């Protein structure tokens, strides 16, 4: 697919019609780009500030084809857009980031395996696919998570022992899961990396995050963490962007242990809630950096 930059005056297609799509469209307009939003919702908040809106299901191949034909490049505002929808667009126009980041991010076990392939440390974890896996599980106490469709604390249950693990797996519908051992961490952080078509990548300053009930409540920048920890987090973020062959934006949430070790938790190949501070505090926000990158 054409890897040439998309000039101002061109049209960006955004899969997803939520708040992140809205803020991306606003940033794009300031840089001279039009945006067309594709979403199943008839009244999508991103569409209110876009030049166009296609309201259709993500499995509507004809609508996806019309959408992709009418734009110059496609991006997505959240990682749970069906992979098939991204693929349908990619057959017609460049999708940035492409299908690889979304394929990895949509499956928690696949995500952990990808981190490991890049030499990025993670929490101790194991796959739970059968009663036998439950019986021999050792990553306890831990958190049992569905491999797919979990978001903002959904699809996960904290388990203390094997008995509770068995009950939790039943509660989650005996679906493919990942059991992640609890980490005695000092804090949670995130890094947001932008990477362009030319392979040049840059990190925003590391944010110190506070989650409550699985939902991000505050991000503090500067984080106040030691320089060696910040350097380690930045190197991990850059390695991830390189490993994904990213064109766009990726956010990586991480744990910092009490010993100063940095462990990857989960990634999001799109603008992230922990980066909203960049709108007012940086020369270019995460949303503008996404537009510039793609």
**205 assigned to some structural domain:** yes
Q: Does residue 54 belong to any structural domain of this protein?
A: yes
Boundary of a domain, candidates 146, 181, 216:
181
pLDDT of residue 291: 98
Q: How many CB atoms lie within 10 A of CB 140?
A: 16
Query: Quick check: is 104 in a domain?
Result: no
pTM of the predicted model as reported, rounded to 2 decimal places? 0.94
**Shared domain check, 212 and 164:** no
* Domain shared by 87 and 159, yes or no: no
Is there a contact between 97 and 250 (Cβ–Cβ < 8 Å)? Answer: yes
Statement to judge: residues 159 and 206 lie in one domain: no
Per-residue confidence in pLDDT tens, the chain, 294 aa: 457 889 999 999 999 999 999 999 999 999 999 999 999 999 999 999 999 999 999 999 999 999 999 999 999 999 999 999 999 999 999 999 999 999 999 999 999 999 999 999 999 999 999 999 999 999 999 999 999 987 666 789 999 999 999 999 999 999 999 999 999 999 999 999 999 999 999 999 999 999 988 889 999 999 999 999 999 999 999 999 999 999 999 999 999 999 999 999 999 999 999 999 999 999 999 999 999 999
Same domain, 225 and 192: yes
In this structure, the answer to whether residues 190 and 281 fall within a common structural domain is yes
Quote the pLDDT of residue 14.
99
Chain position carrying tokens 């106040």? 224
My answer on whether 191 and 157 are in the same domain is: no
212 shares its domain with 264:
yes
Domain assignment of residue 22, given as a range: 11-95
Decide: 256 and 209 in contact? Cβ < 8 Å. Answer: no
Number of folded domains that form the chain: 3
Residue 192's pLDDT is 99
Q: Cα–Cα distance between 159 and 75 in angstroms, integer? A: 37
Q: Is residue 120 part of a domain?
A: no
| pLDDT for residue 152 | 65
**Residue 38 falls inside a structural domain:** yes
Q: Report strand pairing: 34-39 vs 11-15.
A: parallel
Question: What are the CA-CA distances from residue 46 to residues 12, 31, 185 (Å)?
Answer: 13, 17, 36
d(CA 237, CA 250) in angstroms, rounded, equals: 8
Q: How far apart are CA 50 and CA 26, in angstroms?
A: 8
Q: Which residues contact 242 (CB under 8 A, 6 or more apart)?
A: 195, 201
* Predicted pLDDT of residue 1: 43
Residue ending a domain, choose from 95, 114, 149: 95
Q: Is residue 277 part of a domain?
A: yes
CATH code for the domain of 258: 3.30.470.20
In a domain, 108, yes or no: no
Flag whether 111 is in a domain. Answer: no
């Amino acid at each position: 697919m054409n890897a040439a930059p998309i000039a101002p005056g061109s049209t960006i297609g955004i899969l997803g019609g939520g708040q992140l799509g809205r803020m991306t469209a606003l940033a794009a307009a300031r840089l001279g780009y039009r945006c067309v939003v594709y979403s199943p919702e008839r009244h999508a908040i991103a569409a209110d500030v876009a030049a166009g809106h296609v309201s259709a299901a993500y499995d509507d191949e004809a609508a996806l084809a019309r959408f992709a034909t009418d734009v110059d490049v496609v991006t997505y505002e959240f990682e749970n857009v069906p992979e098939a929808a991204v693929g349908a667009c990619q057959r017609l126009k460049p999708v940035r980031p492409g299908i690889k980041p979304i394929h990895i991010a949509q499956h928690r076990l696949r995500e952990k395996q990808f981190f490991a392939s890049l030499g990025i440390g993670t929490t101790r974890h194991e796959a739970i696919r059968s009663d036998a896996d439950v019986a021999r599980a050792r990553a306890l106490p831990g958190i049992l998570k569905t491999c797919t469709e979990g978001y903002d604390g959904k699809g996960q249950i904290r388990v203390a022992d094997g008995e509770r693990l068995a009950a939790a797996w039943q509660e989650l519908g005996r679906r493919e899961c990942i059991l992640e051992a609890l980490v005695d961490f000092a804090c949670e952080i995130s890094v947001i990396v932008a990477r362009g078509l030319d392979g040049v990548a840059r990190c925003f300053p590391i944010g110190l995050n506070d989650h409550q009930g699985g939902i991000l409540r505050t991000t503090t920048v500067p984080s106040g963490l030691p320089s060696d920890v910040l350097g380690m987090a930045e190197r991990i973020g850059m390695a991830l962007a390189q490993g994904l062959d990213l064109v766009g934006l990726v956010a990586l949430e991480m744990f910092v242990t009490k010993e100063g070790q940095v462990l990857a938790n989960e990634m999001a190949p799109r603008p992230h809630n922990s980066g909203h501070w960049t709108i007012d505090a940086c020369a270019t926000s995460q949303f503008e950096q996404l537009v510039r990158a793609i």
